[in-house]
């Protein structure tokens, strides 16, 4: 009931009029040196969004909405929009930013804004569609219950298939189930990483947020089918964690903990989150195995190089011994030649010893065989 009430309040307050400001500059260009520009568009088929009001607000703890910017009639006929944003207002407060389209008192759609709002720069919102609106519904449900969700993880865990079960009816029960699963998965993921990479968690979150912002901008700029971009989402997220110094095996274990946490909940919404966490686990494992295989190949290359060096040392020692024996004119000269040879052979055996005990023994045996051959020839 609590989630249902909070969601109903969100839908109600979404239609409240907010003060707006005019914007006549070219799409995508900053409106002013001291302001920032937020651009976005409606994704998919015509949704009748033309002329809608664009609102940017912060999903603050406790379910509160802190209005950052609003502009009436900002959505163009093609579904695109741009509004000016005060970076100071956008950067203040706690909680992720949400851009929402409202027309005739009804919310058409909404999307989380992962991009950083900076003066004189343009920030891109992901296309507003079923998936982006479901992500906002889930995040609002979580903040309404007092949670402080990681918006980047919400975007990562909610996919289109799950979103279609939530939108456009705003099914409160399904939103609550998806929110609970998202919270369980993200909490398990972070708890696991805190045990192995606690010092890297802050940087990992920042890099994941930057990665999601980059993907959102690519989705906004995509002309036509964007499935290829969507397909890179999990790989990009894994790379963000790795770039922050989190080990692939640790990330895979954390994703596995997220899977386990959602499996315990059961239900269709939970299985959707479980599948996305499972995909994260699979990609992290692939990275871990690839890294381990590369390390193994590098070790083999080093071993090969050391063996080659040992063989080259023995070959040179043999050639020198034959030359020294050929010109030796006394027993002392012959003894010195053999002393020099065995010193070189010992050096070769030491090189091989860096590889393994078995290899060094083989090189030592080879040195003795060469000496025996030379003695037999004499």
Chain segment 202-260, per-residue pLDDT in tens: 899 999 999 999 999 999 998 777 888 988 999 999 999 999 999 999 999 999 999 99
What tokens were used for 18?
């907010």
Q: What is the pLDDT of residue 94?
A: 75
What is d(CA 366, CA 83) in angstroms, rounded to the nearest whole number?
Answer: 79
Angle among Cα 293, 299, 301 to the nearest 5 degrees reads 105
Alpha-carbon 65 to chain mean position = 29
Asked if residue 364 has pLDDT above 60, the reply is no
Average pLDDT over residues 95-105: 92
Q: Residue 304: which pLDDT band, with cuts at 50, 70 and 90?
A: low
Asked if residue 266 has pLDDT above 70, the reply is yes
pTM higher than the cut 0.75: no
Asked if residue 5 has pLDDT above 60, the reply is no
Q: What is the pLDDT of residue 244?
A: 92
Check if the beta carbon of residue 346 is closer than 8 Å to that of residue 310: no
The DSSP code sequence of 76-88 is: -TTSEEEEEE-HH
Average pLDDT over residues 265-290: 86
41: β partners: 80
pLDDT in tens, 28-62: 445 656 789 999 999 876 668 899 999 999 998 88
Count the residues in the chain: 378
What is d(CA 113, CA 294) in angstroms, rounded to the nearest whole number?
Answer: 38
Asked if residue 352 has pLDDT above 60, the reply is no
End-to-end CA distance of the chain: 101
């Amino acid at each position: 009931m609590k989630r249902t009430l909070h969601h109903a309040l969100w839908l109600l307050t979404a239609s409240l009029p907010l003060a707006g400001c005019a914007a006549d500059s070219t799409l995508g260009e900053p409106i002013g040196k001291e302001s920032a520009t937020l651009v976005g568009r409606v994704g998919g088929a015509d949704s009748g969004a033309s002329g809608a009001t664009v609102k940017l607000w912060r999903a603050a703890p406790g379910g509160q909405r802190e209005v950052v910017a609003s502009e009436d009639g900002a959505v163009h006929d093609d579904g695109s929009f741009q509004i000016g944003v005060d970076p100071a207002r956008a950067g203040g407060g706690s909680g992720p930013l949400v851009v929402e389209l409202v027309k005739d008192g009804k919310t058409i759609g909404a999307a989380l804004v992962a991009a950083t709002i900076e003066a004189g720069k343009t920030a891109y919102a992901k296309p507003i569609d079923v998936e982006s609106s479901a992500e906002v519904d889930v995040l609002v449900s979580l903040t309404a219950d007092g949670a402080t969700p990681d918006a980047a993880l919400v975007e990562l865990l909610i996919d289109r298939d799950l979103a279609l079960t939530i939108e456009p009816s705003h099914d409160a029960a399904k939103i609550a189930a998806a929110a609970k699963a998202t919270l369980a998965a993200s909490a398990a993921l972070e708890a696991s990483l805190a045990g192995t990479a606690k010092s890297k968690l802050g940087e990992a979150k920042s890099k994941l947020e930057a990665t999601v912002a980059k993907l959102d901008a690519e989705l906004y700029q995509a002309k036509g089918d964007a499935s290829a971009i969507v397909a890179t989402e999990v790989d990009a997220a894994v790379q963000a964690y790795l770039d922050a110094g989190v080990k692939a095996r640790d990330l895979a274990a954390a994703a596995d903990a997220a899977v386990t946490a959602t499996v315990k909940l059961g239900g269709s919404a939970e299985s959707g989150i479980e599948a996305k966490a499972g995909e994260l686990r699979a990609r992290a494992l692939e990275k871990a195995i690839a890294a381990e295989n590369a390390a193994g190949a590098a070790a083999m290359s080093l071993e090969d190089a050391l063996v080659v060096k040992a063989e080259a040392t023995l070959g040179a020692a043999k050639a020198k011994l034959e030359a020294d024996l050929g010109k030796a004119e006394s027993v002392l000269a012959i003894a010195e030649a053999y002393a020099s040879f065995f010193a070189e052979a010992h050096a070769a055996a030491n090189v091989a010893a860096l590889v393994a005990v078995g290899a060094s023994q083989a090189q030592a045996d080879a040195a003795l065989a060469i000496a025996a051959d030379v003695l037999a020839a004499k």
